[in-house]
Each structure stands twice: as structure tokens, then as C-alpha cells.
Amino acid sequence: MTLTAAFVRDRVRGTILEHIGETPLIPLRRVSAGLRGELWAKLESANPGGSVKDRAGLWMVVAAEEEGRIGTGRRFLDATSGNTGVALALVCAVRGHPLTLVMPDRVSLERKRMVRAFGAELVLTDPLEGTDGAIREARRLAAEETDRSVYLDQYSNPANPLAHELTTGPEIWRQTDGKVTHVVAGVGTSGTVVGLSRALRPKGVRIVAVQPDDALHGIEGWKHMPTALRPAIWDERVADVHMTQGTDEAIAMTRRLARDEGIFAGPSGGAAVAAAARLAREEAGRIVVLIADGGERYLSTPLWES
């Protein structure tokens, strides 16, 4: 069956999962000063699991339930270095499903403790291989344990972009009274950009996709597509504008968002706003920027060292 927003909400009514989505949209008054375009931040850190990944996590799990893929003796499996792991762990805790997450070793203590707090099991892979190494290990485990594992595969799962097409996109349209002109989002699994494009491009909104400017970067959750495993759901044609963003400027903007706007974002939020600000120097309009998560998740990293 094809999921709808009303169906997914009904399935989780009366639980914390009902509060996934409907995140605030906040004008960035100081960052927008002197720019042609006006920047607005969609704060996905307001989701119960603290990130945009709650949406995809919920929809992927409900889709698998509806398809009858999960049942007695089977567990969900996915590869992640961060937010998707927390989101899936939260959703699976509420829905009563066992979950195994494959993550690069040396992920931060916060992430390990959070997913374990929700009851997920962790498999750690070579940190030098990053998220792509975790993906390869998850694929190996899925192929080896077909009778015991349900591989959610956020990089290929159509429920990932569908969640954004049917929730994030319509929210942005409604919250701006249809005045949104551009949407700026980073590319990781690409589910956000692909889903937003399907929802908003037919209404004339320009879709801006941003990637890190180097294979070695610090923008958690984003992928440098020329050197990474390409997500099956990714299609460059969904975006009108492709931009790249350096980590140093992204971190500077992340810190500025806290000081000037009171928005404690993760580095990908700063990266998206930095790219959007460059765009807004040239283009007028109401530019909505997706802030994927909050800064709390990076307190043990050098991001917030003064």
C-alpha cells in the first residue's frame, strides 16, 4: 500500500511518535540582514528524537510493518553514523521491534548511549571506512541473515523521500502561506531533497541541494557524492541548484546561529545556512533552510570548543 500522512499519524496516535513533524519555521533576522533573500530555518531538532531523521525512521518502519516484512524472530537492521540510528531506535522502542544498528567505531559517546538507551543493539565497523564501511557491513549481514533481519536501507528505501514529500514539504508550504521561493537542504541519503522536490517543485519552488566541498569534511550526515557510495534514491535532476559547502565556514555559521539567532544547531544546519546565505546575496525571495539537528549531539566534539 502507499502510505499517507494521515495513515502514519493514526498508526502512532497516543504515543510520542505522533509528535514527529510539524516542526517550527523561524525567520533568521540577523543572518538575513543585508541579503536580498530572507532566510527562514525549519528546525528539525524539535522532533522527539532530535533530528529530521525521525520522519524517515517512522515512515520506513511503518512501511515495513504494512508490507508484513517484520514479525516474530525478525529484527530491523540499518547502517548509520548518527541521527538515523537514534530515530530508528526511538521508533522501534515504541513499536516494540528489535533493532540492530551498524555504525563506524568511535562514533561519539552520546550516540552510542542514546541508541542503547532505546534498546538497540550495536555492531561497530572500521572507523577508517566511515559510513560507507557500515553500509557494506549491513549489506553483508542482511544477505547472510535473510530469515532473521529486515534491512531498512535508508539509502534505497522509498519511504524515506516519501516522508518528506508528504510531511516536510506540505508543512513548509503551509507555514509560509505558499510564499516559499527556495528550499535549501544538504544531501546525505538524499531523502530530504528528493521528497521536498516532489512536493514543492511542481509549485514553482526552487530546490537547492548542498554537498560538502571535500571528501574529508565535518558536516555530519552529508555525503560527498563524487567519492561516496551513491544512494539509490539520489537523482541530481531533482534539484534546480547544486552548491558545495566547506566545513570551516559551516562551523563558523553554526556558532553564529547560536549567538545571533539563539538556534543551537548541528554542523549540517550551519552548513545549510551558510550555503543559503551565499544564495541569498544573489537571489531575492523567501528561502527556507532545513536545520537537520541540534548542537547538543556534538557537545563532545571540537565543534563547541571555544
AA letter at 251: I
Q: Does residue 255 interact with another protein by CB under 8 A?
A: no
Residue 251 lies near another protein (rule: CB under 8 A): yes
Give every strand in the sheet of 206-212, ordered side by side. Answer: 25-27, 37-43, 285-291, 182-186, 206-212, 241-245
State the Cα–Cα distance between residues 65 and 39, nearest whole angstrom. 38
- The Cα angle at residue 113 between residues 108 and 117, in degrees rounded to 5: 155
Amino acid at 69: R
Q: Active-site residue 53, yes or no?
A: yes
208 interacts with another protein by CB under 8 A: no
Residue from 15, 67, 109, 242 binding another protein (CB under 8 A): 109
For residue 42, indicate whether it is catalytic: no
Site string for another protein, 112-131 (x = CB under 8 A): ---------------xxxxx
Residues in 210-239 that interact with another protein by CB under 8 A: 214-222, 224, 227
From the candidates 32, 81, 197, 268, which is the catalytic residue?
268
Instruction: Give the interface segment with another protein, choosing from 55-63, 99-107, 143-151, 270-278 (CB under 8 A).
Output: 99-107
Q: By CB under 8 A, how many residues form the interface with another protein? A: 36
Work out how close the CB of 252 gets to another protein at its nearest, in angstroms, rounded to a whole number.
10
Q: Name the catalytic one among 53, 112, 149, 223.
A: 53
Euclidean distance between CA atoms 293 and 52, whole angstroms: 7
Under the criterion CB under 8 A, does residue 301 sit at the interface with another protein?
A: yes
Residue 106, classified by CB atoms within 10 Å of its CB into exposed (0-12), middle (13-18) or buried (19+), is exposed
**Closest separation between CB of residue 106 and another protein, Å?**
4
Q: Closest Cα to residue 165, out of 190, 188, 193?
A: 193
Q: Should residue 275 be labelled a site residue for another protein when binding is judged by CB under 8 A? A: no
Query: How many Å apart are CA 206 and CA 183, to the nearest integer?
Result: 6
Spacing of C-alpha 98 from chain mean position: 22
- Taking the C-alpha atoms of residue 153 and residue 219, their distance in angstroms, rounded to an integer, is 21
Name the residues that contact another protein, by CB under 8 A. Answer: 81, 104-111, 127-132, 214-222, 224, 227, 247-248, 251, 267, 298, 300-303, 305
Q: Which residues are catalytic?
A: 53, 268
